A and B are shown apart, each in its own frame.
Chain A
Amino acid sequence: QVQLQQSGPGLVKPSQTLSLTCAISGDSVSSNSAAWNWIRQSPSRGLEWLGRTYYRSRWYNEYAVSVKSRITINPDTSKNRFSLQLNSVTPEDTAVYYCTRTGDGGDYWGQGTLVTVSS
């Protein structure tokens, strides 16, 4: 059974960087049949896919147009996890952030992290 455990701060100041990590158990971040995503949810924007990283003989990263200039998703093979960095945050980035796994073998979500952008 795949489990995703999120960690990271729940409060970020405007203009700073939001950083979250998703630890994977029961699968490998280097799996050739999975993709590792970050999704957020807010009352104003609903569910919004932010981006993903996946390995198919080499690493690929794909990002939503809405955040492409501010986002980085990195795999960490040594610790079997992946991370999200979102730069220059504003109050509009306040949301519950989820890490997820998609692909063969099932669709799994982390527990969610409420991130509030406020001074």
Chain B
Amino acid sequence: QSVLTQPPSASGTPGQRVTISCSGSSSNIGRNTVNWYQQLPGTAPKVLIYSNNQRPSGVPDRFSGSKSGTSASLAISGLQSEDEADYFCAAWDDSLKGWVFGGGTKLTAL
């Protein structure tokens, strides 16, 4: 049972906008920033968004993040087939004194 809650799956057609939610609590998302990761099959997770809404260099601006209260969202606009992957959210938890993760959302491009 993951500390952060994500839907197990999401889907969209190419070109569509898709959002993935991440729900936490006052001890993690409510107090700290959120990172989002993309994991392609057989590879390590790669950071897509850090500090709620910042993109590392090289990440397309189709990917965006937001946070409100104890929840966060990842939005992917102009969905492409190569966006098919698992997506995870993460945040530092002040009560557990460690990083906590969502269970992951498998994104399918229909």
Contact = CB atoms under 8 A, between A and B. Distances in A.
Residue of A47, A62, A98, A112 with most partner-chain B CB within 10 A: A47
Interface in A74-119: 98, 102, 106-107, 109-112
Contact of A98 (B2, B44, B96, B98): B44
Interface in A4-57: 37, 39, 46-49, 51
Interface of A: 37, 39, 46-49, 51, 62, 64-65, 98, 102, 106-107, 109-112
B101 A62 contact: no
Interface of B: 2, 35, 43-47, 50, 56, 88, 90, 96-101, 103-104
A39 B101 CA distance: 11
Interface residue SS majority, chain A = strand
